[in-house]
Amino acid sequence: MRITLAAVVFCSCVAMAQDGIMRYQFAGTELIAIHDTDTSMPVSIFLQDSAALKAAGVHADQRVASSVNVFVLRFADRVVLVDSGNGVGKGTLLDKLVQLNIKPADVTDVLLTHIHPDHIGGLVNGITAVFAHAAIHVAKAEADHWRQQDYPADALNQRFFAAYADRITTFAPGAQFWGELRAHDAAGHTPGHTSFRLGRLWFIGDTVHGAALQFPNPAICARYDMDRDQAIAVRRAIMADAARDGALIIGAHLPFPGIGSVRAGRHDGVAFQYLPYAGSRAD
């Protein structure tokens, strides 16, 4: 009986599923996956030449399943967003927070994996900060990179920096947040791209854009990867670590809800397999 109770306490089960919202409990912390934007990506974002297309077994006119996901971690005293999606006009984060009875003013913190439009878009509406009380956490290398770029004042990243100003705090790789939540350097996609790990949960940001192509072959890059060699090394390392230690990887562009485990490939030419998380088995 005691074993049964323990299994219930640590069971990672889906508590509620609404359209575009999935809720889970992981050892006392609530994780919510939000489908911000429904999208797929053309194969041409990943593969251009005919030999590469043939090797991957795809045609140039195919599309790869993808998504824009935002995640909420609810602790006893904090509501934390991991990234913020595309924002007003394209993303649906704010509507879904309303459905969850989470007011923008309730959000205490936003962890940014990086500063691309589909990750910071939800933070501003025009020039106004959407989350009036939130502290924004981003890697110093990432903030420094985008601050040094010469963008016009009305560019999204400039509006983001201006709207949050002194509420943006930067961190170094290895920084520890609440509980065991920790930042890990995952640079390559962008200069300060960061993953966040909390126990089994591993938020991998944009390490993967097209799961169907990049798990079998992590050497395939989306054209958004700024340093391809670094991005490939990070992708391989995260997949290998997750396969070895049973982490659940949680990705901004993994097909919604964007949570799954990794298994080392069992056939030639397949490096890894992605197994979407069913959310119903005891862990």
Number of residues this chain uses to bind Zn ion (CB under 5 A): 2
**Residue 36 or 118: which CB sits closer to Zn ion?**
118
Judged by CB under 5 A, the stretch of 91-99, 117-125, 240-248, 265-273 that binds Zn ion is: 117-125
Which residue, 205 or 260, is less far from Zn ion as judged by CB?
Answer: 205
Asked if 36 touches Zn ion (CB under 5 A), the answer is no
The two three-digit tokens of residue 265, written as one number: 């490939």
Q: Is 118 in the site for Zn ion (CB under 5 A)?
A: yes
> Nearest-CA neighbor of 123 among 154, 151, 61, 81?
81
The answer to whether 225 contacts Zn ion (rule: CB under 5 A) is no
Q: With respect to Zn ion, which residue has the nearer C-beta, 29 or 86?
A: 86
CB-facing half-sphere around the CA of 220: CA atoms within 13 A? 28
- 177-206 residues in contact with Zn ion (CB under 5 A) are 206
Count Cβ atoms within 10 A of the Cβ of residue 228 and give its class: 0-12 exposed, 13-18 middle, 19 or more buried: middle
The stretch near Zn ion (CB under 5 A) out of 94-102, 115-123, 167-175, 212-220 is: 115-123
Give the separation between CA 280 and CA 14, rounded to whole angstroms: 6
Question: What letter represents residue 176's amino acid?
Answer: Q
The 10 Å Cβ neighbour count of residue 94 is 18
Q: Which is nearer to Zn ion, 36 or 206 (CB)?
A: 206
**Closer residue to Zn ion in complex, CB, 109/118:** 118
142 binds Zn ion (CB under 5 A): no
Distance CA 53, CA 56 (A): 5
Rounded distance, CA 179 to CA 199, Å? 10
Residue 83 is a binding residue for Zn ion (CB under 5 A)? no
Site residues, Zn ion (CB under 5 A): 118, 206
